[in-house]
Structures are given as structure tokens and as C-alpha cells.
Amino acid sequence: MYKRMSAVLFPLAALLFVGALVWGYRENQEKNAILLKAENQYQRAFHDLSYHVEQLHGELGSTLAVHAASDGMHRKGLVNVWRLTSEAQNEINQLPLTLLPFSKTEEFLSKISNFSYKAAIRDFKDKPITDGELKNLKALYQSSAEISKELQGVQEKVITNRLRWMDVESALATNNKAEDNTIIDGFKTVDKRVGAYPELDWGPSVASMYDKRSVRKLDGVPVSAEDIKRKALKFSDSGAQTPVSVVHNGQGTEWESYTAKVEAPKGPISMDFTVNGGLLISYSDSREVGPANVPLARAVEKAGEFLKLKGYPHMTAVSADRYDNLGNITFVTRSGDTLIYPEKITVRAGLDTGDVTGFQASDYVNEHQDNRKIPKPKLNLEAARAKLNGDFRELYHRMAWIENDNGEEVLTYEFGGKINGSQYRIYLNADTGIEETVEEIRTASGAQGA
């Protein structure tokens, strides 16, 4: 009996054993294939990065070699600088550097990219390249030479010593002898060198993209927690005996603020205030919102009344969107016949009653000016309208003060209308007639011009 069982089980066990070996071999082969593919991708991205930084250095040199009035060559060179820098950024993102401090180099490349793009797309006849921009290009030419040299040094070591990027990934993930890795040391050297470069004057269009708005920079006398308590009770229309707690957030940081929580009868109300001046940044009523019974247009109307009652008298709704039983409405300041888009407040309303359940006013707090001077347009309405596409069907027009892509505040004619089956807002510069920005309107709205 045992012999008979052995005769059956032994071949079966042998077959299973062989099967396990084959399965293990195939798994190992697949794993090695995946690792080899990843290694090849890392190597390609790294060598492409070194090549493109070298090309960037050369392109900056070519741009500087031509005459200062060679607008066409300057534009071509800046476009190529933008393209090569974008390629380098893309290749950095493909390398396993998420755990390695390389932020200074990435930000440096980002600024070069934005600087060259912003300069290349403008009209050089009206705004030729400036002495400051040429000075920047010379500094970037020198810096790119140093970065390229460092990367080529790492590249030479990678090729000579047959270094693997998979070892870099493993070292970064486990922190195992990461300090001895040649590739990691090379990238740390590059980032340290970039961090030591003097800050360039990139101009307002680029600087604004990296300017970190901070409530700490606001004017106004610092207020106390007791001041905030009184402000919170008044804004929420609560009695003096209503429980309210105040928390001081981020002391010593750029984002120092107060959060007040009022225990209102229908549910807690939370508000955030600036420390300087005690300005309201946000408001949130946690009441439960029932099924929608009120039209969005009525919610827009009630939101406008709410803002006026709370001390924001000159606000106009520019867009309103519905999400289930809530309405999100954007208001901006109106100065005469001009809408001031930087001074924006976003209001949330419950469509069960149309009452406001919250708002966000950080843009308004940071951008509001009591005596903002709005210049008169150099173009009249008909001259601006003539700049529109002939197929554009205008639905409305109005004056708008906006911040353009260069970070500059400009007066524009805002035209709302339809073309090619879609609805758009087109903002034309009121002095030159150029298109400052074009926005496609993707959702239905309950406010004029949205």
C-alpha cells in the first residue's frame, strides 16, 4: 500500500517541485526585466538631462552673441531656452530624487523657464529686451556652465564606474550609506552650488509667481484674542453670552492667525481672522443644509445682501455655480463702472433657504485698496470691439481691472459671448486692444456674465 502511494505521490511531488522552480525562475526573470527597464529609463533621463543643460548653456551664449537690437534672434533664443529648460525639468522629474534635496536647482530651472517664456511671448517692438534682462542672461550663461560641468562630472563617473540608478533609489529609500553614493553626492553638490547663486531680478511677471502671500505682511495693529471674540460675536449676530473659543494659530510663522468658534443655536460657526488688523479671512456655518428649494438666482441675491450687511457694500456677483444643494458665488468689488477682479470673495449658500453658509475672503483681504486709481481707457468701446473675432457673438460687455499673465494689474474690456458652440470671457487691454486672457465658461451660472 505504501509502495503504491509512494509511486503516485513521488512523481506528483517532483512535478510540483519542478513547477515551483520554473515559476520562481520566471518570476525572477520578470523582476529582473522590470528592474532593467527602470534602470534604462533612469539612465536615459540622466544622460538627457546632462545633454539638455549643456545645450541650454550653448543657447544662452548664442542669444547673448547677437546684437542688442536683434529682436528676432532674441525671441528665437528665448523660446529655445524655455524649451530646453522645460525638457530638463521633465527629466529631473523622471529621476528617483524625491527623497533627495534638489529643490534649489528645480526652482532655479523653473525661474529660467518662466523668465524666458514671459520675455519671448511679449511684443518686442513695444517692449524690447532690457539691460536688466541682458544682465540676467549673462548671469544665467555663467551659472548654466557651472551646472553643466558638475553634471558632466557625475556623468563621467556613472559611465566609468558603471554606477546604477537603482542603487540610488535603494539608498534614498533606506537611507543606507546614502552619504557615500557618488550620484547622490554629485546632485547634492549641484544643488548646494545653485543655492549659493545671488538672487536675480526676474522682473514682476516672474517674481509674482513665487511671491508667497502672507497675512503677516498686512498692515494694521495686532489685535488680541478678546478683540477677536467680540468681532466673532458681532459678525455671527450672537449674544454676548454665547460661548466662543479663540485659538491663536501659527505663532511666529508667516501664517499667524486666529480661529474663533461660536457655539450658535443652529450649530457651530467658525471664523478665521488676521492678527494684524483683525480682518476676517473666512466664515463657515456648519448648519445642516436641506434639499434645494430656492433658485440659484435668489441665492445670489441673498448673498449680495449678506455681504452688504456685513460691511462689503460694493460687491457684484460675476459667477455662480450650483453643486447639488449648494451654490458657490464669486463676488468682486465694483468701483464706478469697473469690476476689480483681484478683490474677490467666494460665497457658499444653502439652496434650501438661500442663506449664506460660508465665504472665503483671503483675496479680498490681501488685495483691497480703499483709494484704488483706475485710469481712463485709451480705446473706446467700438475700437475694442473691433479687435474681437468676427464670429464671436457678444452677450455683454463691461470694464474690468484684472491681473494679467505677467502679474501686472491692467484695465480691460471684458466681453462675454459665444463662439464655436462654447461660451467665453475675453479680456482686451483697454489701451492696446491685445487679448490679456481668455476664459472658457464650462458651467451654467446664475450671475450676469458668468
Give one DSSP letter per residue of 66-87, joined into a string: S-TT-HHHHHHHHHHHHHHHHH
- C-alpha cell at position 413: 474690456
3-class SS of residue 162: coil
pTM of this structure: 0.66
- In the chain, what are the domain boundaries? 2-210, 288-450
Closest residue by Cα to residue 129 from 54, 55, 76: 76
Closest residue by Cα to residue 353 from 288, 270, 425, 292: 292
3-class SS of residue 369: coil
Would you say how long the chain is, in residues?
A: 450
> What residues contact 47, with CB distance under 8 A and at least 6 apart?
155
3-class SS of residue 366: helix
Residue 224's Cα: distance from chain center in Å?
33
Closest residue by Cα to residue 406 from 141, 121, 134, 146: 121
pLDDT 10s per residue in the chain (450 long)?
555 555 555 566 666 666 666 566 565 565 656 666 777 787 888 888 888 889 988 888 888 888 777 778 888 888 888 888 888 888 888 877 665 667 788 888 888 888 888 888 777 777 778 888 888 888 888 888 888 888 888 888 888 877 777 776 666 666 554 445 777 778 888 888 787 777 777 766 666 655 555 554 566 788 999 999 999 999 998 888 889 999 998 777 777 889 999 998 778 899 999 998 899 999 999 888 899 999 999 999 999 999 999 999 899 999 998 888 999 999 999 999 999 999 999 999 999 999 999 999 999 998 898 888 899 999 999 999 999 999 999 999 999 999 887 778 999 999 999 998 899 999 999 999 989 899 888 654 444 444
Distances (CA, A) of 348 to 261, 296, 334, 354, 447: 18, 11, 20, 10, 14
Query: Could you tell me if 331 and 364 are in contact, meaning their C-beta atoms sit under 8 angstroms apart?
Result: no
Query: Could you tell me if 345 and 312 are in contact, meaning their C-beta atoms sit under 8 angstroms apart?
Result: yes
Query: Could you tell me if 91 and 42 are in contact, meaning their C-beta atoms sit under 8 angstroms apart?
Result: no
Looking at residue 191, its pLDDT comes to: 83
Place of cell 510540483: 16
Query: Could you tell me if 301 and 327 are in contact, meaning their C-beta atoms sit under 8 angstroms apart?
Result: no
Distances (CA, A) of 5 to 9, 10, 14: 6, 8, 14
Q: Widest CA span of the chain, in angstroms? A: 108
The residues that bridge with 186 in the sheet, in sequence order, are none
